[in-house]
Amino acid sequence: MEVTSGLALLFQQFSALLRKNLLLSWRNRKATLLQVLSPLFFMFLIFAIDKAIKAQYSNTTYYKSVPEPPLRPSPSIPPCENKFFVKLPCYDFVWSGDRNPRIRTIVEAIMNNNPGRTIPPSKVKSFSDKAAVDEWLLNNPMHCPGALHFVERSKTIISYGLQTNSTYVQKRGKYEDPTFAFQLPLQLAAEREIARNLIGDSNFSWNVFLREFAHPATAPFSTVSSVGPTFFLAIAMFNFVLQMSSLVTEKELKLRQAMTMMGLYDSAYWLSWLIWEAFITLLSSLLVVLFGMMFQFRFFLKNDFLVVFFVFFLFELSMMSSLVTEKELKLRQAMTMMGLYDSAYWLSWLIWEAFITLLSSLLVVLFGMMFQFRFFLKNDFLVVFFVFFLFELSMTGLAFMLSAFISKSSSATTVGFSIFIVGFVTQLVTQAGFPYSDSISKTFRIIWSFFPPNPFAQALYILSEAVSTSEVHGIRWSKRGQCGPDDEDCVITINDIYQWLLATFVLWFVLAIYFDNIIPNASGVRKSMLYFLNPNYWMGRGGQNVKEGGVCSCCIVSVPRQEHVTPDDQDVLEEQNTVKRQITEGVVDANVAVQIRGLAKTYPGACNIGCCCKCKRTKPYNAVKVHNSSKSSGLCSLGDVKNTSLVLFAVYLQHISLLKPFSSWSGCFSVARWISFGYFSVCFVFQFGNIVGLLYNLLLRETDSFLDDVQCAVLELFQDLWVNFERDQLFCLLGPNGAGKTTVINCLTGITPATDGDALIYGHSIRSSTGMSNIQKLIGVCPQFDILWDALSGEEHLQLFATIKGLTPSSINSITQTSLAEVRLTDSAKVRAGSYSGGMKRRLSVAISLIGDPKLVVLDEPTTGMDPITRRHVWDIIENAKRGRAIVLTTHSMEEADILSDRIGIMAKGKLRCIGTAIRLKSRFGTGFIANISFYGNNVESRTDNRDAVSTVHQEAVKQFFKNHLDVVPKEENNNFITFVIPHDKEGLLTNFFAELQDREEEFGISDIQLGLTTLEEVFLNIAKQAELESAAADGTLVTLTLTSGESLQIPIGARFVGIPETESEEYPTGVMVEVYWEQDESGALCISGHSQKVPVPSGVRLSSSASARHRRNSRRPGSVHGVIIDPSQVSSVRFQ
Helix crossing, 228-252 with 342-370: angle to 10°? Answer: 160
Alpha-carbon 943 to chain mean position: 69
Q: What is the mean pLDDT of the chain?
A: 74
- For Cα atoms 881, 883, 889, give the angle at the middle one, nearest 5 degrees: 50
851-855, 872-876, 906-910, 1033-1037: range with lowest mean pLDDT? 1033-1037
Q: What pLDDT was estimated at residue 695?
A: 34
Cα–Cα dist 20/2, whole Å: 23
Q: What pLDDT was estimated at residue 1137?
A: 56
- The winner for highest mean pLDDT among 219-228, 267-276, 425-434, 761-770 is 761-770
Cα–Cα dist 801/263, whole Å: 9
Predicted confidence (pLDDT) per residue in 909-926, tens digit = 888 999 999 888 888 887
Predicted confidence (pLDDT) per residue in 549-593, tens digit = 443 333 333 444 445 556 678 899 999 999 999 998 888 888 999
Mean pLDDT across the stretch 191-205?
86
Confidence of residue 726 (pLDDT cuts 50, 70, 90): very high
Q: What is the SS3 assignment for 127?
A: strand
Q: What pLDDT was estimated at residue 307?
A: 46
Which DSSP letter does residue 985 get?
Answer: G
Q: Who's near 946: CB < 8 A, 6+ residues apart?
A: 940
510 pLDDT exceeds 80?
yes
664 pLDDT exceeds 70?
no
221 pLDDT exceeds 60?
no
620 pLDDT exceeds 50?
no
Mean pLDDT across the stretch 359-380?
77
Cα–Cα dist 382/311, whole Å: 10
Q: What pLDDT was estimated at residue 522?
A: 60
Alpha-carbon 9 to chain mean position: 30
Q: What pLDDT was estimated at residue 291?
A: 66
φ and ψ at 907, to 5 degrees? -105, 150
Cα–Cα dist 893/1015, whole Å: 12
Cα–Cα dist 373/376, whole Å: 5
- The domains located in the chain, with CATH, are 11-16+221-410+498-514 (no CATH), 72-210 (3.40.190), 928-1013 (3.30.70.270), 1036-1130 (no CATH)
* Beta strands 263-266; 339-341: pairing state: parallel
Cα–Cα dist 395/452, whole Å: 6
* Cα separation of the two ends of the chain: 62
Whether the Cβ atoms of residue 525 and residue 254 lie closer than 8 Å to each other: no
Give 748-794 as a 3 state SS string. Answer: HHCCCCCCEEEEEECCEECCCHHHHHHHCCCEEEECCCCCCCCCCEH
Predicted confidence (pLDDT) per residue in 62-97, tens digit = 667 778 888 888 888 889 888 877 888 899 899 998
Q: What pLDDT was estimated at residue 679?
A: 30
* Class of residue 1066 by CB neighbours under 10 A (exposed 0-12, middle 13-18, buried 19+): exposed
857 pLDDT exceeds 80?
yes
178-187, 337-346, 436-445, 467-476: range with lowest mean pLDDT? 337-346
Confidence of residue 334 (pLDDT cuts 50, 70, 90): low
496-505, 689-698, 712-721: range with lowest mean pLDDT? 689-698
Cα–Cα dist 483/494, whole Å: 8
